[in-house]
Amino acid sequence: MYEGTSNTGFNVQSQKCTRWSPTPVQLLVLEELYRQGTKTPSSEQIQQIASQLRRFGKIEGKNVFYWFQNHKARERQKRCRLEIEETASTEGKKEHKLSCDILKSNRE
């Protein structure tokens, strides 16, 4: 198949999906909302947040949804890593890593 044609032979506009990157202002707002306690926003909240953030750049509801989901997961991973480092000097290191792995598998 050639670029610009579909399997039906008609010309098709090639649409490149670009990865969303928050602007610095969008990132500040999202992080502040998270710090204030918005960890898992509802669908309505997601749309409101996206609407407000559009003033600062392109954004969709799904970007807001995935940002909160990823931020929460990264925070959980970081917390688990810090706990492992704190217990590294004790015998419980292996047990703690196992418990972090179990927590992770339960969330999937």
State pLDDT tens for residues 61-70. 999 999 999 9
Q: For 96-105, how does the pLDDT look when each residue is reduced to its tens digit (9 = 90+)?
A: 566 676 666 6
DSSP string, 74-86: HHHHHHHHHHHHH
What does the pLDDT read at residue 21? 96
Q: Is the Cβ–Cβ distance between 83 and 100 less than 8 Å?
A: yes
Q: Taking the model in full, what pTM does it have?
A: 0.70
What does the pLDDT read at residue 3? 47
Q: Is the Cβ–Cβ distance between 68 and 34 less than 8 Å?
A: yes
**Per the structure block, which two tokens stand in for 102?**
């179990």
Q: For 11-57, how does the pLDDT look when each residue is reduced to its tens digit (9 = 90+)?
A: 556 667 789 999 999 999 999 999 999 999 999 999 999 999 999 99
